[in-house]
Amino acid sequence: MTPIDFSQLPHTPCYICEESLLEKNLQLLQRVQKESGAKVILALKGFAMWSTFDLVGKYLQGCTASGLHEAKLAREKMNKEVHTYSPAFKDDEIEEIARISDDIVFNSPSQFHRFYDRVKAINPAISVSLRVNPEYSSSPVDLYNPCGIYSRLGTIIANFDASLLSKLDGLNFHALCEQNVDALEGVLEAFEAKFGSYIDGLKYVNFGGGHHITRSDYDVDRLIEVIKAFKARYNNITVYLEPGEAVGWQTGPLVASVLDIVHNGMDIAILDTSAEAHMPDTLAMPYRAEVRGAAQAGEKPYTYRFGGNTCLAGDIMGDYSFDEPLKIGDKVIFEDQIHYTFVKNTTFNGIKLPSLAIWTKEGTLNIVHEFGYEEYKNRLS
């Protein structure tokens, strides 16, 4: 595996997806599929770099989409299984969604009753599922907890409508966020206690996303055992997993440059990127992105606060220390910025969206898209 040659980078900011790291994740997911019998599909919400979808489609069964646009992208760019879920489908989109999806997941019995006949009339072969809420949560962050108090996501057992069963092909739950298999075991126990009696006769159960399968401490063997045991309990039923983050996990950096260094109680480096616009989870989650060669503030001799090139005071990535002083023009490499970054980017303050690049297995830097003024203008009127 050749490390990225940053001298090939013509400009910053730029996300660089490392093809060999992506493939390594896909190979691990393929092992889960082979050994457990589960099917794995990519959740586009977390990673949607479609220039990699030929590669992703070699390993995974398709995509899970959260509405019309993601479903269109899944059909157009991967063209394998398309599973579409939305918290609420709309009248003017449901027919196109039905036409291009292999599987549709309703969030509530009311949505199911509203759209079932129309969906089946357009696409008689489509599978139809209901998302349920197992009301078991171990998610560390409320913003990312689909089973938190008053959650709108999925049908709780008290609202389950058993009259749907004759028309249902599957049940979905999605309850995890960046978690290990012990959390899945807890969710499964709650799911089976509540919905287990409805599983016989279904074609599949979808365990959602949030499985951090490609993280180094994830217990992959245990996951395989848990899936196999579940399948054995329910007549070899098909199990789906739909990770997003685990596909894009640690597959490449966001590279930025130092534009200026100012002093106000401390040294502050202004970068040509933005936490708010380009690394949104660092503020929303929040978490601290790792920077290559840097340590916590004060650990090395030269500490800087990194700020974005927007007028938002809180557009701050954090404080980082270095062995040598930073200079204007130096590159700053934020690690692991491929998932939940460019899928959420905005053109806030008119700043340029980072380019998207692939560092190929052969060791070439392929800039797949550079953005400019048009992206800013076209989102306004």
Ligand X SMILES: *Cc1c(COP(=O)(O)O)cnc(C)c1O
Find tokens 């599949």 and name the residue.
Answer: 204
Cα separation of 146 and 124, whole Å? Answer: 31
Q: What number of chain residues touch ligand X (CB under 6 A)?
A: 15
For ligand X, the closer of residues 244 and 308 by Cβ is 244
Which region among 9-17, 155-163, 208-216, 309-317 touches ligand X (by CB under 6 A)?
A: 208-216
Q: Is 13 in the site for ligand X (CB under 6 A)?
A: no
For ligand X, the closer of residues 13 and 208 by Cβ is 208
Cβ 25 to ligand X, closest distance in Å? 12
Cβ 120 to ligand X, closest distance in Å? 22
Q: Do 165 and 203 contact (CB within 8 A), yes or no?
A: no
Q: Is 242 in the site for ligand X (CB under 6 A)?
A: yes
Cβ 274 to ligand X, closest distance in Å? 22
SS3 string, 135-175, reads CCCCCCCHHHCCCCCCCCCCECHHHCCHHHHHHCCEEECCC
Q: Is 209 in the site for ligand X (CB under 6 A)?
A: yes
Q: Is 53 in the site for ligand X (CB under 6 A)?
A: no
Q: Is 244 in the site for ligand X (CB under 6 A)?
A: yes
Please give the span between the terminal C-alpha atoms of the chain, in angstroms, as a whole number. Answer: 46
Would you tell me how many other CB atoms lie within 10 Å of the CB of residue 339?
A: 24
Cβ 323 to ligand X, closest distance in Å? 35
Q: Which of 9, 16, 19, 46 binds ligand X (CB under 6 A)?
A: 46
Write the burial class of residue 377 (CB in 10 Å: 0-12 exposed, 13-18 middle, 19+ buried): exposed
Token output for 220: 């992959």
Q: Do 130 and 171 contact (CB within 8 A), yes or no?
A: yes
Query: Which position's Cβ is nearest ligand X?
Result: 209
Show the site string, 101-130: x = touches ligand X by CB under 6 A, - = not: ------------------------------
Q: Is 174 in the site for ligand X (CB under 6 A)?
A: yes
Q: Is 45 in the site for ligand X (CB under 6 A)?
A: yes
Write the burial class of residue 166 (CB in 10 Å: 0-12 exposed, 13-18 middle, 19+ buried): exposed
Q: Is 243 in the site for ligand X (CB under 6 A)?
A: yes
Q: Is 43 in the site for ligand X (CB under 6 A)?
A: yes
Cα separation of 334 and 273, whole Å? Answer: 11
Q: Is 208 in the site for ligand X (CB under 6 A)?
A: yes
Distances, alpha carbon 230 to alpha carbons 155, 205, 223, 233, 289, in Å: 21, 10, 11, 5, 36
Paired with 333 in beta bridges are 255
Q: Is 305 in the site for ligand X (CB under 6 A)?
A: no
Would you tell me how many other CB atoms lie within 10 Å of the CB of residue 30?
A: 15
Cβ 365 to ligand X, closest distance in Å? 27
Q: Is 253 in the site for ligand X (CB under 6 A)?
A: no
Q: Is 85 in the site for ligand X (CB under 6 A)?
A: yes
For ligand X, the closer of residues 9 and 187 by Cβ is 187
Which region among 42-50, 91-99, 251-259, 262-270 touches ligand X (by CB under 6 A)?
A: 42-50
Q: Do 330 and 292 contact (CB within 8 A), yes or no?
A: no
Cα separation of 120 and 89, whole Å? Answer: 15
Cβ 189 to ligand X, closest distance in Å? 20
Binding site for ligand X (CB under 6 A): 43, 45-46, 64, 85, 174, 177, 208-210, 242-246
